Amino acid sequence: MKVALGQFAVSRDWQENSVTCTSLMMRALAGEADLLLLPEAVLAQDMSDPDRVIQAAQPLDGPFLKRILAASRNNQLTTIMTVHVPVHEGKVQNVLVVVRDGEIVARYDKLHLYDAFAMQESRKVISGSKVPPLVEVAGMKVGLMTCYDVRFPELARRLALEGADVLVLPAAWVRGPLKEMHWEVLVTARALENTCYMVAVGECGPRNIGNSLVVDPLGVATVKAGEGAGLIFAVLDPARIAHARSVLPVLENCRFAPPELK
């Protein structure tokens, strides 16, 4: 599978962000990618206005995703991102969508809300209540996670035990002391402890770190982005997964039952 990682700074204007997303989709197609991963909360953000994501939230049949779905038609590129969707007055869900050929083929409502480091995502966001599904892309099974989920190894392990070859993580990883180190350590750990590929894309810009990367099943970072906007590519090889699981059979050796959502 060839993956594309599209890193950019989300603006407060959903129309501008839709142009950026569709442009990255076209560039990923031109690069013959099977899967494009975009950051978390791509609909709208404003560093000076924390409530902008709430004010700009749209339903899944709203104009933002209509543009994304239109751009996805008549090709087999799978595109993954998260958007904020209204639930009821003043509350939204952070919804990961998997888009392919004009349709939303899967969704995942973020389970772990970012109530940490003096931030409180749960103030306006309602958490999900279901373990995300696996999605098949180019013959590989992809498990879905969102940002803060990476700090909870139970979700990654559950997805790996269900058959995930690849774990994807759209994120908006906020800058702070040692936060870049946290990002790289956690992404690497989730790949290595589950002998999966980990594909993680972070929003860049003044608030967030960027630093998108792919880590292989033995903990090797195969590509990395810096702090600026860009599109990078990586090839994920099923033979590398098979090798990792033959020399490091942690999924077979584990003595614990599969994690359950409480």
3-state secondary structure of 256: coil
**Tokens found for residue 168:** 């994807």
Which entry of 21, 110, 196, 204 is annotated as an active-site residue?
110
The dihedrals phi and psi of 97, each to the nearest 5 degrees, come to: -120, 140
Alpha helices by DSSP H, listed for 178-261, are 179-194, 238-247, 250-253
CB-CB contact of 78 with 88 (8 Å):
no
Which entry of 16, 21, 32, 40 is annotated as an active-site residue?
40
Annotated active-site residue 193? The verdict is no
Which entry of 21, 124, 147, 204 is annotated as an active-site residue?
147
Annotated active-site residue 147? The verdict is yes
For the chain, strand residue ranges (E) read 2-7, 35-37, 78-88, 91-100, 103-109, 134-137, 140-144, 166-171, 197-202, 213-215, 221-224, 230-235
Rounded to whole angstroms, the Cα distance separating 57 from 49 reads 14
The residues carrying an active-site annotation are 40, 110, 147
